Amino acid sequence: MTSLTAARLQMTLSLAFHMVFAAIGIGLPLLMVIAERLHLRTRQPHYLALTKKWAKATGLLFAVGAVSGTALSFELGLLWPRYMEIMGAAVGHLFALEGFAFFIEAIFIGLYLYGWDKLSPTAHWWCGVVVAVSGALSGVLVLGVNAWMQLPVGFAMDAAGHVTNVDPLAIFKTYAWFTMALHSTIACYVSVAFAVGAVYAAGYLRGKRDDYHRSAMRIALSVGAIFAILQPISGDLIAKFVYRTQPAKFAAMEGHFVTSSHAPMHIGGWADETSRETKFAINIPGMLSFLAAYDFNTVVKGLDSIPRENWPNVPLTHLSFDLMVGCGVAMMLLGIWFAWTWWRQGVEQFASRWLLRAIVFCGSLGFIALEAGWVVTEAGRQPWVIQGILKTKDTVTPSPSIVPVFTGFIALYLLLGVTTVLLLRYLGKDESPDSTLTP
C-alpha cells in the first residue's frame, strides 16, 4: 500500500466515522428542544422522559464526536502538510470560528444536563435552544473550509507559493458556501430524524404501544418529513452550482462522457471509463441539460472535454450520487406518507404495520445518503485537494509511517464505535416515562 493510498483511506475512515456524530450533534438537539417545549406546554410526563433521554444521548454522542474530531484535526496536519500550509493561511481562521461554536455548545450541554433542578423551566429550555443553534452553526462554519476547497477564493499566492492578501470572509460571500451549508445542514436533520423515528417504530412493533413511543415517532418524523421534502430543492441548487464551476464532477455524477446539448440523465447503470459510456442505465433524453440550466439546449460538458489525468473516479462518483438521490427520494416519499396518514387517521396512523416497517427500513437511509453525498463531494473533486490549485498526490507527507498509523486509527475507531454502541444500548434500556431520568 502506498503512502498516498494509506493517507486517503485513513481520511476516508476518519471522516465517515466523525460525520455520523457531527450530524447527530446538529440534528438531535432540535428534537430535544421540541420535546421539552411540548412538555412545557402540555405537562405530559412522556415528553419530559423523551427530553431527558435525548439529552443524555446528545451528551454522550457529543463526547464521542469531540474525540473523533480531535483525531481528525491531527490527521490534517500530519498527513497533508502542503495542504495545511496553504489552507491554514487562507481559511484556517474558520476552524477557530467553528471552535468557538463548539465550545459554546459544550458549555450549554453542561448547563442543560445538570440544570434541570437549578434553572427555571424556561431558562433550561433556552439552554437547549443554544445547544441546537450552536451545533448547527458549528457545522455551517466548518463547511466554509470545504466550500473553499471546491472554490478557492479570497487570497493570492506569490511566486514562491506563499499565501498573501487574504480576505477572511470571502468564502462566506460565495454561492458555494451557501449551497453546501444549506444542503448539508438539511441532510443532518433528515438523517437524525429518520434514525430516531426508526428506533421508536421498532419498539412500537415489539408491543410498546404507548404515548412515549408515539410522541417520539411524531416529533422525529415531523422534522424528518419537512426537511426531506425541502432537500430536493437544496440539491437542485447545489447541482447547478457544480455544473457551473466543476464540470468534471458534474459529468462524473451523471456518468456523462460526451459533451452535448439535450444531454440525457442516466439513472443507475455502470459508468465505464474504458468504453466511455454508462451501461445498463435508465436514460431520460434531454433531462440533464434541462436540470443544469432549465433549458434542453444547454450544452453539458462531458468527460471527453477534460484531460484524462484530471478525471475523478467516475464509477464511484456516479454510484454514490445515485445512492444519495435514491435514499433521499425514499425518505421524501415516506415523509409524505407519514403526513398523509396523520392528516387522515390521526392517532390511529400507527396501527398500520406497513407504515411502521417502512419507518424502520428507512431509518438508516439518511446516514447512507449523508455518507454517499460526501463521497460525491470529495471523490468528485479528485485529483484536486484544492480545486485547480493543489493535487492530492502533491500534498501527502513523505513519512513512511502512514500504514502503521492507519492501523492504529482503525483500532481507535473500532474501540470508539463499540463503546458507543454499548453505552447507547445501556441508555436505551429504561424506556419508562415514569422513571427518574435525571442526568
Q: What would the mean pLDDT of 291-319 be, rounded to a whole number?
A: 94
Is there a domain that residue 436 lies in? no
Number of independent structural domains in the chain = 1
Name the residue among 11, 9, 12, 21 with its Cα closest to residue 139.
21
Q: What is the 3-state secondary structure (H, E, C) of 339-389?
A: HHHHHHHHHHHHHCHHHHHHHHHHHHHHHHHHHHHHHHHHHCCCCEEECCC
The pLDDT of residue 333 is above 90: yes
The residue count of the chain comes to: 439
Is there a domain that residue 174 lies in? yes
Q: Is the dihedral of CA 101, 107, 108, 112 positive or negative?
A: positive
Q: What would the mean pLDDT of 273-280 be, rounded to a whole number?
A: 93
The pLDDT of residue 308 is above 90: yes
Cα(329)–Cα(318) distance, rounded to whole angstroms?
17
Question: What's the confidence (pLDDT) of residue 4?
Answer: 87
Question: What's the confidence (pLDDT) of residue 391?
Answer: 93
Is there a domain that residue 438 lies in? no
Is there a domain that residue 104 lies in? yes
pLDDT over 90 percentage in the chain: 74
- Name the DSSP class of 264: P
Taking the mean position of all CA atoms in its chain, how far away is CA 92? 21
CB atoms within 10 A of CB 251: 31
Question: What's the confidence (pLDDT) of residue 292?
Answer: 93
Q: What would the mean pLDDT of 222-240 be, rounded to a whole number?
A: 95
Is there a domain that residue 435 lies in? no
Is there a domain that residue 59 lies in? yes
Least confident of 1-10, 88-97, 387-396: 1-10
Q: Which domain does 46 fall in, by range?
A: 3-427
CA atoms within 13 A on the CB side of 264: 13
Q: What would the mean pLDDT of 44-71 be, rounded to a whole number?
A: 92
Q: What would the mean pLDDT of 287-305 be, rounded to a whole number?
A: 94
Question: What's the confidence (pLDDT) of residue 439?
Answer: 32
Joined together, the cell numbers standing for residue 165 give: 492578501
pLDDT digits (tens, 9 = 90+) for 131-158: 999 999 999 999 999 999 999 999 988 8
Global pTM reads 0.93
Is there a domain that residue 410 lies in? yes
Band of the pLDDT at 437, cuts 50, 70, 90?
very low
Question: What's the confidence (pLDDT) of residue 334?
Answer: 96
Cα(426)–Cα(439) distance, rounded to whole angstroms?
14
Q: What would the mean pLDDT of 190-200 be, rounded to a whole number?
A: 96
Is there a domain that residue 432 lies in? no
pLDDT over 70 percentage in the chain: 98
pLDDT digits (tens, 9 = 90+) for 386-420: 999 999 999 998 887 888 888 888 888 888 889 88
Question: What's the confidence (pLDDT) of residue 162?
Answer: 86
